[in-house]
Structure 1
Amino acid sequence: MSFVNILSIASYMPGESISNDRLASLIGELDEELMAQVDVQDRYWTINAETGEPSESNSDISAKSARLALEKAGVSAEDVDLIVMSTCSPDYPLPATVTQVQDNLGLRRAATIEVRSGCCGAVQALDIAKLYLSTGQYRTALVIGTEVISPLLYQMYGHKDKDDLRLRDKLCIYSFGDGSAAMVLQASEQANGHLIGKSAFACAGGGKKPGMIVPIGGTAIPITHEALDKGLFSLKVDFTGSAKYTADILHEGFHETLSKAGVSAKDIQGCIIPEGNTGYLRDDLQRSGKLSEEWLEIENRVYDNLKYVGNTGSPAVLLAFEHAVRTGKVNQGDNVMFLAIETSKWLFAGTVFQWKGV
């Protein structure tokens, strides 16, 4: 069985950062307590925040992050024989956006897979790539996570007076951002920054209502004039449910990831939990009685970059990791855990690897 090494990580953020002050001028302010819970200072959107005019598509920014990752790894696009991509905001329902990315990279042929699991999707994509590479079926893979959420957000405020916006809609608009990140993986007989053990992922939301939903656009609620008039083309988040269930899902995912990888918390030098206000996570774990010895061991090595990019869904774990590498929070030879939580139907996904890439 071949080792699967991670060669590089790269990110691409569209446009200029949008500050809270700029957003407040468009949709109104949030009070200090709510802003502390949101914990976002800046975000990036592919649209013009004032007009809603798009500048780049999902496949555009995905290809840009992929090219940057390939350049860092010193790998030619022609060497890529597998692309696994996670997104919940594709260019179109069909064709799959991953095939558009393949086109943008100039590849006539590649195996392509698209995952739709939100924040957990990039970790699942890593595991899928690992499975195919480790068997020798493919040798070089791109793993991409991308979301373009801003067009949905604009529908929530673009044609409304800011005094008429509901608080829950404001919370969404302040919370979310666009972005893309990519990794290059390669099979090798030598371990040199490899994925360790098995990954852990599951939907632990059986019997629970969705914590996040985009109601319109599927076959259950097709796009109609009536649905548009009702404001269903939007992002709806159950912030109360997130506070209620996140600690349980985090606890389950954290311990299962350690178990599947065959490591202890002491073996992990960096833990990447995207979109996790770590202070609130600790409080939630303590309130629910899930503040374990293993978490106490690792909590000072937990890293996220939520405040700099907002909630970004599929690329979140990769964006946070790229920022951790760039700012020296993760170093060559470190064992790193990815642990992602997705509130739409209460998923978790975790994996462990040794970082020796660029």
Structure 2
Amino acid sequence: MLDAPEVWLLAAGSAFPGPPIDNARLAELFGADDLWQQWVEVFLGTRTRHFAVDLETNEVRHSLADLGRTAAERALAGAGLAAADVDVIVLATSMPDHLMPTTVNVVADRLGIDGVPTFQLQSGCTGAVQALQVARQALVAGGHRTALVIGGDVCAKFLDVDLAPGKVKAADLVNIAMFGDAAGAAVLSTDPTPDAVAVRRLDLRLAGLGRESGHTVQWSGTARRDSDGPAVAEDYKAIEEIVPRMAVETARRVLDELGWADSRVDYLLPPQLSGRMTAKIVERLGLPGAKEISCVRETGNTGNALPFLQLERLLPLVGPGQCVLGVAIESSKWIQSAFALERPGAGVGL
């Protein structure tokens, strides 16, 4: 039996809609006071985010397919590949543009890709890792050579700037401050480039048996809905208690399975729920020698895009022999995920 091929991460790319929106601008738009702005900066730790909605006109200017295509093109360019080189596409999102057609196939069409397997996953903060896992399996077991993996979310249906200042519900205002829109992409291949990093481990498991959901999102959204119930609901106390513990559990499991000591981890990509939560999780993970790669303070929580945004920042930094640990936790029904990467030493593994 032939050995399974090694899978390599070649490049990552990202796409954001419009300019960054700071907390002062949000407070102005939605009639929030200075205390709210201070609360966002201290208790969420998020300074800016991007929205697909034009805040001046309430017009949706960018779709997930728009952002996914741009992120994919940037990732392919970074890998030195063209769309014609892609053998399989996987996209993860919690907010597709439509129920049908699936966004992954719209992106494929815009890229000029046809005749390949495509997959779309419905998930939240762990969706990017799930997509990487599906793509890796397609390469290892399906005989494919190059996979394009995309993750992203566009929260347009949850943002209505036409509401009168001061009329936005407090819970909705928190979510507006916490979340943002973006897409990210990565290229996996069984054929490494000189700067590629090896995918050493992907770990995914449901951990929600008997637990109430920590995060629910209604399909109809806030801006265009027919009921008075909350469009987005979060159990912040449960998230604050459970997510750091789950992050430690999955990180420890991956390190133990690989036989990596804490000192082997040169870079840490922690969960990106919010700036404040990320800081708490990094402290709990206890890897003081690892350099943190985070973006949530500038981008907001962009869901399925986040690990790709982190990877784009990471890849130029990783040197020969260095190791990377990434962790993502989803509170919708409590999912743990992690991944481990390694850039082999000079002349090793290529």
TM over 0.5: yes
Give the letter for the 1:318 counterpart: F
Contact 1:332 1:355 in 2 (8 A): yes
> Aligned pair in 2 of structure 1 residues 199, 59: CA closer, same or farther (>3 Å)?
same
> Aligned pair in 2 of structure 1 residues 247, 15: CA closer, same or farther (>3 Å)?
same
Equivalent in the alignment of 2:348: none
2:198 pairs, out of 194, 204, 217, with 194
Equivalent in the alignment of 2:226: 228
Asked if 1:163 corresponds to 2:166, the answer is: yes
- The CA deviation at 1:275 is 1.2
Asked if 1:53 corresponds to 2:59, the answer is: yes
Equivalent in the alignment of 1:302: 292
List runs of 5+ in structure 2 lacking aligned partners.
345-350
In structure 2, C-alpha distance between the alignment counterparts of 1:49 and 1:153, rounded to whole Å: 9
Equivalent in the alignment of 2:267: 270
- The CA deviation at 1:77 is 0.5
What secondary structure is seen at the aligned counterpart in 2 of 1:194?
strand
Contact 2:214 2:238 in 1 (8 A): yes
In structure 2, C-alpha distance between the alignment counterparts of 1:281 and 1:64, rounded to whole Å: 27
- The CA deviation at 1:285 is 8.7
> Aligned pair in 2 of structure 1 residues 95, 332: CA closer, same or farther (>3 Å)?
farther
Contact 1:2 1:135 in 2 (8 A): no
- The CA deviation at 1:105 is 0.6
Equivalent in the alignment of 1:347: 335
- The CA deviation at 1:68 is 0.8
> Aligned pair in 2 of structure 1 residues 15, 281: CA closer, same or farther (>3 Å)?
closer
Contact 1:9 1:69 in 2 (8 A): yes
- The CA deviation at 1:214 is 1.3
Contact 2:20 2:48 in 1 (8 A): yes
**Residues 268-300 of structure 1, C-alpha deviation per residue, up to 9 Å, x if partnerless?**
1111014155764565798xxxx4xxx323475
Equivalent in the alignment of 1:121: 127
Equivalent in the alignment of 2:302: 312
Asked if 1:90 corresponds to 2:90, the answer is: no
> Aligned pair in 2 of structure 1 residues 93, 277: CA closer, same or farther (>3 Å)?
closer
Asked if 1:256 corresponds to 2:253, the answer is: yes
> Aligned pair in 2 of structure 1 residues 284, 312: CA closer, same or farther (>3 Å)?
closer
**Residues 241-287 of structure 1, C-alpha deviation per residue, up to 9 Å, x if partnerless?**
2112112211222112223444232211111014155764565798x
Contact 1:9 1:318 in 2 (8 A): yes
In structure 2, C-alpha distance between the alignment counterparts of 1:145 and 1:257, rounded to whole Å: 23
> Aligned pair in 2 of structure 1 residues 129, 229: CA closer, same or farther (>3 Å)?
closer
In structure 2, C-alpha distance between the alignment counterparts of 1:278 and 1:20, rounded to whole Å: 14
Give the letter for the 1:193 counterpart: V
In structure 1, C-alpha distance between the alignment counterparts of 2:42 and 2:261, rounded to whole Å: 32
Report the TM-score when normalising by structure 2. Answer: 0.87
What secondary structure is seen at the aligned counterpart in 2 of 1:119?
coil
1:338 pairs, out of 317, 322, 326, with 326
In structure 2, C-alpha distance between the alignment counterparts of 1:166 and 1:40, rounded to whole Å: 19
CA RMSD across the alignment: 2.6
What secondary structure is seen at the aligned counterpart in 1 of 2:126?
helix
> Aligned pair in 2 of structure 1 residues 332, 71: CA closer, same or farther (>3 Å)?
farther
Contact 1:87 1:314 in 2 (8 A): yes
> Aligned pair in 2 of structure 1 residues 279, 331: CA closer, same or farther (>3 Å)?
farther
What secondary structure is seen at the aligned counterpart in 2 of 1:170?
helix
Report the TM-score when normalising by structure 1. Answer: 0.86
Contact 2:10 2:193 in 1 (8 A): no
Q: Judge which range, 257-266 or 72-81, deviates more.
A: 257-266
Equivalent in the alignment of 1:241: 238
% identical equivalent positions: 28
- The CA deviation at 1:212 is 1.3
Count of aligned residue pairs for this structure pair = 336
